[in-house]
Amino acid sequence: MQYLHTMLRVADLDAARHFYCELLGLVEVRRVDNEAGRFTLVFLAAPDDVELAAQRMAPLVELTHNWDPEAYTGGRNFGHLAYRVADIYALCQKLQDAGVTINRPPRDGHMAFVRSPDGISIELLQAGDPLPPAEPWASMENSGSW
């Protein structure tokens, strides 16, 4: 058995791609437009997994955009996506500067939670040892649900 991907339905493909690629740093590795089925699939890999993704050997996130409008709710039902990051403070600052709410700030220098434009909960984990506590994160309260 091999883990292949996690599929997320997204209402606005451009907004989702901006969040996952421009802000989180994932890389689009494959795209499928299916006119008969009226949907687009966009497959994303973590930067360190791009080479393995080309060989179809890396776990991916599949963004599924159905062309006909649909309301998607309950994005937290499956749990969350988790990514190991090089500098949790730098990424959280980048996300916050772009208007993303940091739902669970990295007070411990180790873990944070944010949500995608479609309400998908995303856990960010510091690679290696936790970073020393730093402001503004150390005193920042939780916001919303994560």
Q: Name the region of 29 (left: φ>0; alpha: ψ -120 to 50; beta: rest).
A: alpha
Give the chain's domains with CATH numbers. 5-66 (3.10.180.10), 81-137 (3.30.720.110)
State which residues of the chain have pLDDT below 50.
Answer: 77
Q: How far apart are CA 46 and CA 16, in angstroms?
A: 15
Cβ atoms of residues 112 and 101 within 8 Å: no
Q: How far apart are CA 104 and CA 144, in angstroms?
A: 8
Q: pLDDT tens digits for 63-82?
A: 999 999 887 776 654 668 88
pLDDT for res 97: 98
Q: How far apart are CA 113 and CA 133, in angstroms?
A: 16
Q: Round to the nearest angstrom and report the end-to-end CA distance of the chain.
A: 30
pLDDT for res 77: 45
pLDDT for res 27: 97
Catalogue the active-site residues.
Answer: 123
